[in-house]
Amino acid sequence: MPAHDEELLISACVGSLMSMDYPIDRRRIVVIADNCSDATARLARRGGAESMERTEPKFAGKPRAIAWALNQINLRHWDACVIIDADSRVAPDFASALGRIAPLNDIVFQANFRVNNEFESWLTRLGGLLSRCRYEVTYPLKQSAGLNCPITGNGMGFGANLLIRDGWSAYSITEDSELYAIYTEAGVPIRHASGANLFSQEPRSLGQGATQRRRWLAGRIGVIRVWGGRMIRSRRISWRQKLDAFVELGLSSPVLHLIVAFAVAATAFLALPGRSGKWIAIGAAVSVAGVAVTTIVVILRHPQPWRTLSSFFMLPAYAGWRIIVVLSTLFTLRDTTWRKTARTSSP
């Protein structure tokens, strides 16, 4: 668990990991107190976890902290390593559920991500809805189709054999997207551990969310630059996997997908005369059908469907904010500084 000044949330996270119903001698819980100036390391040890303290301010950030810690762990004693963010909690059967997709040694996997503050505001409701769409519908469908499941940084796991063979190979500001591209291009299967539930905070304000979105967008653009050509040329994956990987890296946000589709449809309809413009507009509209169907499926079995639907009234404002974030990101692509998302105490 990489943690930078996480004294606000570290105890709850460690407590949930220590409470897993899994044999103690078959698990190891390690907190990487990375360039901390608070009580993160002390609170982690008090909760029962191991604490590795790292002080390298010139090489700060989650990827380097993970690489540093992995170099000190004998991975041959273990089947896999799972990365958990400090603002998270795991279900009691988390480790047992990972065992259901064993053997883990030679695969990458992603735990089932849930939002623990989903019902706090319209913004967290939209975030919770997106999480449900991905993890309850989209990712299971990908698995059924033989496609790799994206990894999201929190709850991602790596077989020990892969780490022994390749080491930690991602150091960008979005190490999860980079690792997804690396392992997908190499033909390594990435599984969805649907029963291993992980609960994390959704940003409660647009200000909190902006830091994340800028990092994600800039990082994915960088990954496509570096790995796009390699994935296209790869002989280890099918054309379906190549296409799906580009969609995941390029249009992973449904809201951005809707904005792009609307812009393409409007431009084609207004600027291109005759059938060509109409067909392009229709194609753009059809491209969002999957988003619409997935949303309907999730809403139909949502615990609070009407209140969640009411949050859709804020979508125009949210879409405008996303456009501003995208534009500001495009002007600062060379800034690869890792920035921590602001935390608030868990409910």
- CB distance 3 to 339 below 8 Å: no
Residue 157 has pLDDT above 60, yes or no: yes
What pLDDT band is residue 250 in, cutting at 50, 70 and 90? confident
Q: Which of 271-309 are b and which e, b meaning 16 or more Cβ less than 10 Å from the residue's Cβ?
A: eeeeeebeebbeebeebbebbeebbeebbeebeeeeebe
Instruction: Name residue, tokens 């390029």.
Output: 250
pLDDT tens-digit readout, 202-242 = 988 888 788 778 888 888 999 999 999 999 999 999 999 99
Average pLDDT on 236-255 reads: 91
Report d(CA 323, CA 243) in Å as an integer: 25
Report d(CA 249, CA 209) in Å as an integer: 19
- The pLDDT, as a whole number, for residue 345 is 59
Average pLDDT on 108-133 reads: 96
- The pLDDT, as a whole number, for residue 344 is 61
Cβ neighbours of residue 210 under 8 Å, at least 6 residues apart? 321, 325
Backbone conformation region of residue 136, classed left if phi is above 0, alpha if psi is from -120 to 50, else beta = alpha
- The pLDDT, as a whole number, for residue 341 is 62
- The pLDDT, as a whole number, for residue 185 is 98
- CB distance 212 to 204 below 8 Å: no
- The pLDDT, as a whole number, for residue 273 is 77
pLDDT tens-digit readout, 163-203 = 999 999 999 989 999 999 999 999 999 999 999 999 998 98
Identify the CA nearest to 295 among candidates 286, 285, 305. 305
Identify the CA nearest to 325 among candidates 262, 255, 241. 255
- CB distance 224 to 246 below 8 Å: yes
- The pLDDT, as a whole number, for residue 347 is 52
- One-letter identity of residue 120: E
Looking at CATH, the fold of the domain delimited by 2-250 is given as: Spore Coat Polysaccharide Biosynthesis Protein SpsA; Chain A (3.90.550)
- The pLDDT, as a whole number, for residue 343 is 58
What pLDDT band is residue 66 in, cutting at 50, 70 and 90? very high
Identify the CA nearest to 173 among candidates 213, 209, 208, 215. 215
- The pLDDT, as a whole number, for residue 145 is 96
- One-letter identity of residue 199: F
Cβ neighbours of residue 133 under 8 Å, at least 6 residues apart? 254, 291, 294, 295, 298
Residue 253 has pLDDT above 60, yes or no: yes
List the single range of 39-53, 102-116, 130-144, 272-286 with lowest mean pLDDT. 272-286
Identify the CA nearest to 293 among candidates 250, 341, 256, 254. 254
- One-letter identity of residue 251: L
Phi and psi at residue 32, to the nearest 5°: -100, 100
Query: Residue ranges per domain, the chain?
Result: 2-250, 254-330
- The pLDDT, as a whole number, for residue 338 is 58
Residue 154 has pLDDT above 60, yes or no: yes
Residue 200 in 3-state DSSP? strand
Element (H, E) at 215: helix 206-233
Element (H, E) at 199: strand 190-200
Report d(CA 100, CA 226) in Å as an integer: 34
Per-chain mean pLDDT for the chain: 92
- The pLDDT, as a whole number, for residue 307 is 97
